[in-house]
Amino acid sequence: MGAAAHRCPRRRLVRAIGLLPAAAAMPAALVAGVARAQDDKPFSPFITTPGNTVMRMLSIASVGKGDHVIDLGSGDGRIPIAAALKFGASGGGVDLDAMLVELSNRNAAASGVGDRVRFERGDVFATDVRKATVVTLYLLPPIVQGLRPVLLRQLRPGSRIVSHDFPFEGWQADASETFFAPEKNDGRGGNSTVFLYVVPAEVHGRWAVSWSGAPADSLPSVPAELRLQQVHQVLDAELSLGRQVLEVRDARLAGERVRFTVALPVRAGGPPAAPWQFEGRVEGETMGGIARNDRGVETRWQARRTAVR
């Protein structure tokens, strides 16, 4: 967690320095109760992320050489520095405490990654994270929740967010891990949980679907419309063929990747209906890819958004 306070939007910043020692390590149960300071404004004290937790956060996000990792509430800078040293990434961090920012930049230079990792003093809610492919958080729940719309607005589909111990309420994690962290609770140890969220493309609405390349008797010839309702990466979907409405199963997004399964009827005289698995990529107002059925037949499909409702 960052050493300094971070405000909710449109609220004045509240500093935790002076309220808590900058290098203090606090048990998780105590941290959960220290969500608000003077004037009922939320802040995050500085609590170092255990070393094995740092590595698990970066591993669950599949950080690699092409990634840019930004840590919000970066403390002593250990997460972006580890991303550069161990995974070849670039990155940086933001913290309100000037002393910790200076320490983080010294640590990056001493580790030999000062040319790829840079830390700045700032408010996490005002930070531009558009360059990031991975954002890491170890902040208290009110701040994590407040950051969700900021991150979803700025990050590109496929970007990953990893939060330590505190999940986003109302957003199902794409993956999570719980494990023992021996450095927690002043060296007495305790469990850490890391939550991975992959920023999804926005696909809500109606899509005109077509396919090509399959045998003429294997797919229906009437116009198809895919209707999608979206809650982050989880989709509620149905496919219409004229007046016939078909159930769509297992519809889901992984960044800009989309998949769903639907049993399609065929033309008169063709084989019986068979489940087709659709997989593809979303690119703004279009998407498309490959669909396959259990008989080994394959076709290309395309879709164009016709309405956002």
CA distance 238 to 260: 10
Same domain, 181 and 285: no
CATH number of 140's domain: 3.40.50.150
Same domain, 140 and 45: yes
Residue 79 is assigned to a structural domain of this protein: yes
Q: What is the pLDDT of residue 217?
A: 61
Same domain, 145 and 48: yes
Q: Which of 181, 198, 215 is at the close of a domain? A: 198
187 or 9: which carries more pLDDT confidence?
187
Print burial letters for 182-211: b (CB count within 10 Å at least 16), e (below 16): ebbbeeeebebbbbbbbbbbebebbbebeb
Same domain, 34 and 174: yes
pLDDT tens-digit map of 63-74 = 999 999 999 999
Same domain, 169 and 50: yes
pLDDT tens-digit map of 197-233 = 999 999 999 999 998 877 756 677 778 999 999 999 9
pLDDT at 188 over 80: yes
Same domain, 170 and 240: no
Q: Which amino acid is at 60?
A: I
Please give the tally of structural domains in the chain.
2
Same domain, 171 and 209: no
pLDDT at 186 over 80: yes
Strand pairing class (68-72; 134-137): parallel
Highest mean pLDDT among 33-37, 113-117, 274-278: 113-117
Same domain, 178 and 46: yes
Same domain, 263 and 150: no
What pLDDT band is residue 34 in, cutting at 50, 70 and 90?
Answer: very low
Residue 300 is assigned to a structural domain of this protein: yes
Same domain, 178 and 68: yes
Q: What is the pLDDT of residue 11?
A: 27
Name 113's Cβ contacts closer than 8 Å, sequence gap at least 6: 81, 84, 85
Same domain, 126 and 159: yes
Q: Which of 142, 171, 198 is at the close of a domain? A: 198
Instruction: Answer for the pair 260, 237: CB distance below 8 angstroms, yes or no.
Output: yes
Query: What integer is the mean pLDDT of 11-21?
Result: 27
Domain membership of residue 86 as a residue range: 28-198
CATH number of 248's domain: 2.40.128.120
Query: What integer is the mean pLDDT of 129-148?
Result: 96
DSSP state of 40: G
pLDDT at 36 over 70: no
Q: What is the pLDDT of residue 14?
A: 27
Residue 296 burial class via C-beta count within 10 angstroms: exposed 0-12, middle 13-18, buried 19 and up: exposed
Residue 122 is assigned to a structural domain of this protein: yes
With both helix axes pointing from N to C terminus, report the angle between 78-87 and 98-110 in degrees, rounded to the nearest 10: 20
pLDDT at 91 over 60: yes
Same domain, 133 and 231: no
Share of the chain above pLDDT 90, in %: 70
Nearest Cα residue to 161 out of 72, 78, 73 = 72
Q: Which of 172, 198, 224 is at the close of a domain? A: 198
